């Protein structure tokens, strides 16, 4: 019994010792972990956030770009009270922020305080260097939070807070370039998202692709030590978008339109220059612009793009489209004489009048002298289905496909309505349908491009990750035979030389086009308000450009609302600027 008792006692003592040792080990581990929590982590991670890509002109001027913003965070507990003024003074020098503002933002605050959310990249680099120097100067000290039993040594941290979109040339190329909206991602980083124009259309290409990442041991001043054990992931920004827009031409075009708007007292003027063979838009401008860096309530009406969103009845610029369809269908001989009834013609009780009354004109001179009566008579030769389909083929009632986020498709009468003689006549001279400026520019380009319809384009290439991707549109469609396009070009040149477009003529260049002056309807009635336009082309031996001008509501005094006195002078100034820029060269053989 005593032997059993003795063995039991030994086992008990052994178990007691084992239990006690286990308690000591657990306690040691606990204290070790707890103690380690009181000291700064030996490892750190740093995110290098990717940013939105830039938009550049054809000649490499940066129109819009993104820059990172940083926030400066300081733990006020770690600032040595005796060196607080030194911290404020140095931070002010390195950041460019007034020392009074710095003092006000940290005075009386406890714990982590954000001094600024909008530190520029350049200043952020300086402040990171300052953070190191402040440690060496012992401006920062270790601070122990006794309640949490935690030791802090944070000092000054410079962290990413967002990206800022900058439009370097303010209102240049607006509203076509668009604008952005700010959004917070899950990491509290403020990102930019395209809302209108090119910014929205190419948003998926401009968006950042992949954030960079760096993880590793950190030194005494919180900088990550880069060595073999560090983990790194490359940052990939959004693509760089290159436009067809030529900077000097764009600026000059905007200047011309601004001056002419003032002279004509117009509501707005829109103009564009397109390379006829490629569809590249070299310049497109409006007098309704805004500064995307600072959009205010008064800018709201300018945010919409008139060239692609404003629908209007075009007036006489539709006459060449109608005549081209007649030629295509073999329904007219350009030289046949047409009785014009002294400029007054009745169709089903509807009276059509001409501003300039002629007894007779050749069919082509109906275009040259812009006879409503003449084109109304000729339009009756077209079958409703051929007229309707011909307008669709020229691009009306559907979007042009230009690289702008939003575009209206317009409206043309149905085939059933086009069987009515009155509808057929009024559509022939530009009423009873609604079009956009871009649709007309594209349609007139057919005459200067051998009868082929192409898609207009604002951008031409994307540079992404050191690789170039072409964005040129290859959409091409034959609308009329080349022979018909050649004949229409001859008629439009004659219109400039002898007809309503005389003021557009410039010796040494091949210039053609057609005027259009249209009443503006309001609440079902045509008021004493007009839209004036001129669409045409300017060519030399090596260059072919299609040019459009729309003047919205010019003054009515002295008949300035007529396109020949408003839109045509603007067109001429645009062509003269093309000469100044060397984009057109006069040929002495051309008269």
Lowest mean pLDDT among 103-117, 237-251, 375-389, 486-500: 103-117
Contact 275, 545 (CB under 8 A): yes
Say how many CA atoms lie within 13 Å of 473 toward its Cβ.
19
Residue with tokens 């057109």: 584
Q: Is the dihedral of CA 128, 134, 140, 141 positive or negative?
A: positive
Phi first, then psi, for residue 511 (nearest 5°) are: -125, 130
Contact 152, 75 (CB under 8 A): yes
Q: What is the mean pLDDT of residues 384-400?
A: 97
To the question of domain 247-289+306-580 being in CATH 3.40.50.300, the answer is no
- Identify the pLDDT of residue 76: 87
Q: Highest mean pLDDT range out of 45-54, 468-477, 544-553?
A: 544-553
Residue with tokens 């960079």: 212
Q: What is the mean pLDDT of residues 236-262?
A: 96
The 3-state secondary structure of 441-500, one letter per residue:
HHHHHHHHCCCEEECCECEEEEEECCEEEECCCCCEEECCCHHHHHHHHHHHHHHHHHCC
Residue 589 has pLDDT above 80, yes or no: no
Quote the CA–CA distance of 136 and 152 in Å, as a whole number. Answer: 17
Q: What is the mean pLDDT of residues 52-61?
A: 96
3-state SS class at 125:
helix
Quote the CA–CA distance of 565 and 167 in Å, as a whole number. Answer: 36
Show the CA angle centred on residue 333, arms to residues 331 and 335, nearest 5°: 155
The residues near 16 (Cβ < 8 Å, ≥ 6 apart) are: none
What tens digit of pLDDT does each residue of 273-299 get? 999 999 999 999 999 999 999 999 999
Q: What is the mean pLDDT of residues 399-412?
A: 95
- Identify the pLDDT of residue 124: 87
- Identify the pLDDT of residue 185: 66
Contact 210, 236 (CB under 8 A): yes
51-217+226-237 CATH fold: Penicillin-binding protein 2a (Domain 2) (3.90.1310)
3-state SS class at 215:
strand
Label residue 235 by pLDDT band (50, 70, 90): confident
Q: Where are the domains of the chain?
A: 51-217+226-237, 247-289+306-580
Quote the CA–CA distance of 305 and 395 in Å, as a whole number. Answer: 19
- Identify the pLDDT of residue 36: 46
Through-space distance between the first and last CA atoms of the chain, rounded to whole angstroms = 138
Label residue 119 by pLDDT band (50, 70, 90): confident
Contact 441, 548 (CB under 8 A): yes
Quote the CA–CA distance of 535 and 554 in Å, as a whole number. Answer: 17
Q: Which two tokens stand for residue 300?
A: 């709201």
Say how many CA atoms lie within 13 Å of 288 toward its Cβ.
22
232: nearest Cα among 466, 52, 46: 46
- In terms of Cβ atoms closer than 10 Å to its own Cβ (0-12, 13-18, 19+), residue 22 is exposed
Go through 390-426 and write b for each residue having 16 or more CB atoms within 10 A of its CB, e for each that does not. Answer: bbebbbbbebbbbbbbebbebebbeeeebeeeebbbb
- Identify the pLDDT of residue 217: 65
Quote the CA–CA distance of 287 and 269 in Å, as a whole number. Answer: 6
Lowest mean pLDDT among 136-140, 195-199, 518-522: 136-140
Show the CA angle centred on residue 425, arms to residues 504 and 397, nearest 5°: 75
3-state SS class at 423:
helix
Provide, rounded to the nearest whole percent, the portion of the chain with pLDDT above 90: 65
269: nearest Cα among 260, 278, 282: 260
Q: What is the mean pLDDT of residues 565-571?
A: 97
**Max Cα–Cα distance, the chain, nearest Å:** 147
Residue 38 has pLDDT above 50, yes or no: no
Quote the CA–CA distance of 43 and 450 in Å, as a whole number. Answer: 68
Phi first, then psi, for residue 222 (nearest 5°) are: 70, 10
361: nearest Cα among 345, 342, 381, 383: 342
- Within 168-283, residue ranges assigned H as helices are 197-201, 203-206, 247-264
Quote the CA–CA distance of 339 and 354 in Å, as a whole number. Answer: 13
Quote the CA–CA distance of 444 and 484 in Å, as a whole number. Answer: 13
Quote the CA–CA distance of 235 and 217 in Å, as a whole number. Answer: 20
What tens digit of pLDDT does each residue of 500-538 get? 999 999 999 999 999 999 999 877 778 789 999 999 999
Contact 246, 460 (CB under 8 A): no
Residue with tokens 């948003």: 203
Q: How far is CA 444 from CA 107, 359, 414, 502, in A?
A: 68, 29, 23, 18
What is the average pLDDT score of the chain? Answer: 89
Go through 62-95 and write b for each residue having 16 or more CB atoms within 10 A of its CB, e for each that does not. Answer: ebbbbebbbbbbbbbbbbeeebeeebbebbbebb
Q: Which two tokens stand for residue 318?
A: 């539709």
Contact 312, 468 (CB under 8 A): no
Number of separate helices (H) and strands (E) present in the chain? 17, 25
Q: Which two tokens stand for residue 39?
A: 């000291």
- Within 171-246, residue ranges assigned H as helices are 197-201, 203-206
Omega before 175 within 30 of 0, i.e. cis = yes
pTM of the model: 0.85
Rg (CA), the chain: 36
């Amino acid at each position: 019994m005593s032997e059993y008792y003795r063995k039991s006692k030994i086992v008990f003592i052994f178990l007691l010792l084992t239990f006690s040792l286990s308690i000591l080990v657990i306690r040691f581990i606990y204290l070790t972990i707890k103690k380690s929590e009181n000291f700064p982590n030996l490892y750190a991670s740093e995110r290098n956030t990717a940013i939105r890509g830039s938009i550049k002109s054809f000649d490499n001027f940066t129109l819009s770009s993104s820059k990172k913003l940083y926030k400066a965070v300081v733990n006020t507990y770690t600032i040595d009270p005796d060196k607080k003024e030194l911290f404020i003074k140095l931070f002010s020098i390195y950041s460019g922020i007034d020392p009074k503002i710095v003092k006000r933002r940290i005075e009386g605050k406890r714990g982590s305080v954000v001094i600024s959310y909008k530190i520029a990249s350049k200043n952020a680099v300086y402040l990171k260097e300052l953070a190191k120097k402040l440690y060496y100067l012992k401006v920062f000290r270790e601070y122990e939070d006794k309640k949490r039993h935690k030791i802090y040594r944070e000092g000054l941290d410079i962290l990413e807070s967002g990206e800022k979109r900058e439009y370097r040339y303010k209102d240049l190329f607006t509203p076509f370039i668009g604008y952005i909206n700010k959004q917070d991602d899950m990491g509290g980083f403020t990102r930019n998202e395209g809302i209108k124009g090119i910014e929205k259309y190419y948003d998926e290409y401009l968006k950042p692709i992949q954030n960079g990442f760096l993880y590793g041991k950190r030194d005494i001043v919180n900088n990550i030590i880069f060595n073999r054990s560090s983990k790194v992931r490359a940052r990939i920004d959004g693509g760089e978008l290159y436009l067809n827009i030529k900077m000097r031409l764009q600026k000059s075009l905007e200047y011309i339109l601004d001056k002419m708007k003032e002279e004509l007292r117009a509501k707005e003027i829109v103009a564009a220059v397109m390379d006829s063979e490629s569809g590249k838009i070299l310049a497109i401008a409006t007098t309704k612009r805004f500064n995307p860096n600072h959009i205010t309530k008064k800018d709201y009406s300018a945010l919409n793009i008139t060239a692609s969103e404003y629908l209007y009845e075009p007036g006489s610029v539709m006459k060449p489209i109608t005549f081209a369809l007649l030629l295509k269908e073999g329904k007219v001989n350009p030289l046949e004489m047409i009785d014009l009834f002294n400029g007054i013609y009745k169709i089903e009780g509807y009276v059509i009048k001409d501003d300039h009354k002629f007894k007779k004109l050749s069919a082509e001179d109906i275009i040259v002298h812009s006879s409503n009566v003449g084109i109304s008579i000729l339009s009756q030769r077209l079958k409703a289905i051929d007229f309707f389909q011909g307008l669709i083929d020229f691009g009306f009632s559907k979007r042009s496909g230009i690289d702008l986020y939003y575009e209206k498709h317009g409206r043309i009468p149905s085939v059933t309505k086009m069987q009515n003689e009155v509808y057929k006549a009024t559509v022939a001279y530009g009423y009873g349908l609604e079009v956009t400026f871009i649709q007309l520019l594209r349609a007139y380009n057919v005459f200067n491009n051998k009868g082929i319809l192409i898609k207009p384009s604002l951008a031409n290439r994307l540079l992404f990750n050191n690789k170039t991707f072409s964005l040129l549109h290859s959409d091409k469609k034959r609308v009329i035979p080349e022979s018909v396009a050649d004949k229409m070009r001859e008629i439009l040149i004659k219109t400039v030389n002898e007809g309503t477009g005389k003021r557009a003529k410039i010796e040494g260049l091949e210039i053609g086009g057609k005027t259009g002056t249209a009443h503006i309807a309001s609440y079902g009635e045509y008021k004493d308000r007009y839209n004036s336009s001129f669409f045409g082309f300017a060519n030399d031996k090596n260059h072919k450009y299609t040019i459009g001008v729309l003047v919205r509501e010019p003054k009515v005094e002295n008949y300035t609302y007529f396109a020949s006195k408003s839109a045509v002078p603007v067109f001429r100034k645009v062509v003269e600027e093309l000469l100044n820029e060397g984009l057109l060269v006069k040929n002495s053989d051309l008269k």
